[in-house]
Amino acid sequence: MKPDHRLPRRSVLLGTPVATLLGGACQSGPSNPEAGGEWLPRLSENIGVLDDATLRWMAQLGLKWVVLQGTDSVDRDRKGYWSEQDIVAVQERCASHGLKLHSLMLPLAWLTNSMLGRPERDRDIEHIRTSLAAAGASGVTVVEWRWSPDFRWGEDVGYYDKPGRGGATYKAFDFDRVRGAPPFAEIGSISREELWERMIYFTGGVMDAAESASVKMSLHPKDPPVKAMRGVSRILTSTEEIEAFLDAVPSPSNGFTFCQGTVTEMGVDVIDAIRRIGGRGRIHHVHFRAVRGSVPQYEETFIDEGDVDMLAAMRAYKEVGYDLAIVSDHSPGIPGDLPGRKIGRSFSHGYIRGLVQAVNA
């Protein structure tokens, strides 16, 4: 029998200093209420570390919100879940540079047992429920997650580097490089039906906790969006399947990271997909990046040279009333760049800010 994961949300009292620190973090609307009615999503950035150089760089770009993907160290004492104290420590670190914490990524290790269907998944689901309650009580708006037992980004899954404009380095993908390659020994073969059933089991255990905590969960579609690779089926590789998942799990807390790069790789009309999924209110996060080509071959380019009309995309987000985070996500490598590809991402953010101003003009 499937265990009942529905646990009451814990009561939480925050002291005055912490409440002051977190002021405004629970707001679900635009990040700048003084914008005079302009559409202004939360311009943010994915980061993996909370070092001074990265947080200072974000503040210098005028960003206000932190999207923390490198969350392995948030659980400071390795108990397997986040406490409010863990999250407040991250918020205080962000606040030291005038920033607020917008979202956290569930560590992939917390999802592995669920993705592989192991008995330990029920323990991990309970821990994630506790983490969602802590996130909501602390004012975190979004919790991101991935459903990728084969989460890799190297040559062993078809990626390679190629030269781009001005000596930059682009990340490219060619499925022929791994077509017919054997399964990874530690994963084996996994069917689409197994991955889907396990994902529905997982969401059945956590979505009501997210609702109770007023947290939006945001699932990244599979990248690269090929149907299967090295013995592992890959689900959520089309907009039709994304919408089927939204139908199967209709909770308002269930939504997607609309990664424009991944959706472009699917070979679909990206603007139409923004309107369809965003019109349902189920875009919970945006990766605003550019790609040229689609599976089985594509390359990740600078933001101004991909296949999608980025101004039309920004207009579509405004049309559907999207008001959560927009990040630049990936950027080509530039010789002499700073850690985290800050030069390329700075270029992307100038472009993004200009597009937001253009759609408000």
For 262-296, how does the pLDDT look when each residue is reduced to its tens digit (9 = 90+)?
Answer: 999 999 999 999 999 999 999 999 999 999 999 99
Confidence of residue 153 (pLDDT cuts 50, 70, 90): confident
Strands 290-294 and 297-301 turn out to be: antiparallel
Alpha helices (H) along the chain = 16-21, 52-60, 84-95, 109-115, 121-138, 192-213, 239-248, 260-265, 270-279, 310-319, 342-360
- What's the whole-number average pLDDT of the chain? 91
List Cα–Cα distances, 75 to 67, 86, 128, 139, in angstroms. 16, 6, 12, 17
Structure tokens at 293: 């080509």
Residue boundaries of the structural domains of the chain: 27-360
Q: What pLDDT sits at residue 37?
A: 79
Position 239 pLDDT exceeds 60: yes
Q: What is the pLDDT of residue 43?
A: 97
The predicted structure's pLDDT at residue 12: 29
Does residue 33 carry a pLDDT above 60? Answer: no
* pLDDT (average), residues 85-101: 98
Residue-wise DSSP of 297-352: EEEEE-TTSSSS-HHHHHHHHHHTT--SEEE-----B-TTPPTTTHHHHHHHHHHH
CATH architecture of 27-360: Alpha-Beta Barrel (3.20)
- The phi-psi region of residue 293 (left if phi > 0; otherwise alpha if psi is between -120 and 50; otherwise beta) is left
Segment 178-231, tens digit of pLDDT? 999 999 999 999 999 999 999 999 999 999 999 999 999 999 999 999 999 999
pLDDT at 28 over 60: no
Q: Is the pLDDT of residue 19 over 80?
A: no
Distance (Å, rounded) from C-alpha 324 to C-alpha 333? 27
How much is the average pLDDT of 236-257? 97
Q: How confident is the model at residue 36 (pLDDT cuts 50, 70, 90)?
A: low
